[in-house]
Amino acid sequence: MKHKTISNDKTTNYIILFLVIVVIAGIAVSIANKKEAKTAEKTEESAGSGFLDVDASPSNAHIFLDNEYVGESPTVLYNIPAGQHEVAIKKDGYEDFTINVEIEAGKKAFIQAELAQIQVLEEKEEIQETAGEEKIEEELGKETPTTESTVNVGNRILLYYDFSEKKFTDNRQQGSDVFSKRFDTYLLFTRYNPVNIKVVDKSIDSIKKEDCADINDEIGYLHSGQSLCIVTKESGMVALGGEWDKTENAELEWKMLN
């Protein structure tokens, strides 16, 4: 019995030692990665280049930078010369996603692409649709809009905005104008063609139509106290903004400027 107890104690000690080594190794790798990231940022800045973090839903989409294939999503692209670049994201069965992005030396830009699936409807399926089903879909569509002029971001990462129908949903709608990706302190907005957007350093309470001149951006980083000007698919002009410390549960106000 005494020999068994000693053997069990040794086994326990080996397990504890192994776990300690694993934890220490994990911490060392994390520290090394952070050092590498900081070194890479300094190298990129001195070389006049930056990073581009590309993500797409669904994943494993093909990424093209200035018409050159550079890999699959999700990925981070390095050594991109500062300036404006065209990024195209493509996947079989989905519509191409194209956007122009501005790269700053030593900084990381983000692209979050929501690829729209190509709908292939067979003639037989169209014939089989009944008037009753269409009516149900129409009624369900009427229940979705909100009449409020505020939008609560909540804890959602992605949020889609259809201003003409006043729909703000977790999933892309046919009439969505823009969508936002929530980061800790700011929201990254991406427009759908032919919508244009522009971030203005004015609060939502003070912004006016003339502040939104020359709207032609495709993405916009919206921080607290700023406003996002939007020319919608219906050519209406909308301003969206608010104030927050953290974007989770941030309350956004929006108004028509026409």
Residue 142's pLDDT is 39
Q: Per-domain residue ranges for the chain? A: 39-136, 146-256
CB 70 within 8 A of CB 80: no
Q: Which residues of the chain have pLDDT under 50?
A: 1-4, 121-124, 127, 130, 135-147
* DSSP code per residue over 71-115: EESSEEEEEEESEEEEEEEE-TTB--EEEEEEE-TT-EEEEEEEP
Domain formed by 39-136, architecture: Sandwich (2.60)
Determine the pLDDT at residue 233.
92
Q: What is the pLDDT of residues 121-180, one digit of tens each?
A: 444 455 455 455 554 444 444 333 343 589 999 998 899 999 999 999 988 888 899 999
Check residue 29 and give its pLDDT: 62
Is 227 in contact with 202 (CB distance < 8 Å)? yes
Give percent above pLDDT 90 in the chain.
50
Question: Which tokens go with 176?
Answer: 């969505």
Residue 43: predicted pLDDT: 58
Q: Which helix (H) or strand (E) is 18 found in, with range?
A: helix 2-46
Beta bridge partners of 227: 200, 241
Nearest-angstrom CA–CA distance, 54 and 34: 20
Which pTM does this prediction carry?
A: 0.59
* Cβ neighbours of 41 (radius 10 Å): 16
